[in-house]
Amino acid sequence: MGPFIDGTFKETSVEYEVLKPCTEQVIAKVGLSAEEDVNAAVNSSLKAADTWANLSGHKRACHMCRWVYSVERYWIKIGNYACIVSFNLFIFWQIFVSTLSSPCMPQPSLNTSSVAGDF
């Protein structure tokens, strides 16, 4: 699956395989965006910003109310996905921090005496 531009997912010519670190099993394939995709996304967002800016306050409020209604309607599904993403980020952070304290990684030194001498 590629980038979401102008209301549709675009195909990409290059895919990146996401691996499960402990088994090196492919768990997902993510499309990599080319420069043209990025330019199309930027142009689309600028067009959307112009459209939004030209709406009346009442029309903007209507769009926001519909958005809130959608979030409330799918709150449980959104919450489940948020929990999964948060948990995955937590695990990633724990792995990242553990690599920093690994004996093979150089540890940063906080020598404040040399900093004070520089001023």
pLDDT score of 118 = 43
**Encoding tokens for residue 11?**
């195909």
Question: Are residues 95 and 102 in contact, defined by beta-carbon separation less than 8 angstroms?
Answer: no
pTM for the structure as a whole: 0.48
pLDDT score of 42 = 92
Give dist(CA 72, CA 64) in Å, integer: 12
Give dist(CA 38, CA 10) in Å, integer: 11
pLDDT score of 105 = 47
| Sequence-separated (6 or more) residues with CB below 8 Å from residue 20 | 26, 27
Give dist(CA 76, CA 60) in Å, integer: 26
**Encoding tokens for residue 75?**
């709150």
Give dist(CA 46, CA 36) in Å, integer: 15
